C-alpha cells in the first residue's frame, strides 16, 4: 500500500498559448498514458500554455521517470494528430519545454491541491 502523490507543472515549448484547440485530444492522451503506466490522475488542468497534472504513482516510479514518460508520449501523439497545426508555432520540432516543476503533497492534503488546480485561474 502507498500514498505517493505528485503535482507536476510544465510549459509548452516557447510558451505559445496553443493548447486550447487540441485540449480534448491532449487530455485523452494524458489519460491513456497514465492508464498504461498505472499512474492515477487525481487532477488535470490544461491552460493554453502549460499543464498541471496531479497524480498518484507507485513508489518504484521516480518523478523524473513519470514526467519523461508522460511528456514524451503526449508530445509524439500530439505531433501525430495535429502536425499541420503545430508546424505554424513550433520550429525545429519539440512540444514541451525540458524543464518542469514537481512537488509532493507533503503536509498539504490531496483536496487542497486538487482545489488549487481546479479553481485557480492559471495565467
Which residue numbers are catalytic?
116
Angle subtended by helix axes 63-87 and 23-36, to nearest 10: 150
Question: Do residues 7 and 103 touch, judged by C-beta distance below 8 A?
Answer: yes
End-to-end CA distance of the chain: 37
Q: Name the residue with cell 519545454.
A: 97
Amino acid at each position: 500500500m502507498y500514498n505517493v502523490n505528485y503535482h507536476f507543472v510544465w510549459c509548452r515549448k516557447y510558451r505559445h498559448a496553443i493548447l486550447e484547440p487540441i485540449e480534448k485530444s491532449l487530455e485523452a492522451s494524458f489519460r491513456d498514458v497514465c492508464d498504461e503506466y498505472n499512474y492515477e490522475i487525481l487532477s488535470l488542468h490544461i491552460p493554453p500554455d502549460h499543464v498541471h497534472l496531479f497524480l498518484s504513482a507507485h513508489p518504484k516510479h521516480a518523478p523524473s521517470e513519470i514526467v519523461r514518460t508522460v511528456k514524451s508520449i503526449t508530445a509524439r501523439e500530439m505531433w501525430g494528430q495535429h502536425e499541420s497545426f503545430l508546424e505554424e508555432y513550433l520550429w525545429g520540432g519539440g512540444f514541451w519545454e525540458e524543464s518542469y516543476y514537481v512537488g509532493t503533497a507533503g503536509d498539504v492534503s490531496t483536496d487542497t491541491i486538487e482545489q488549487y488546480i481546479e479553481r485557480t485561474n492559471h495565467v
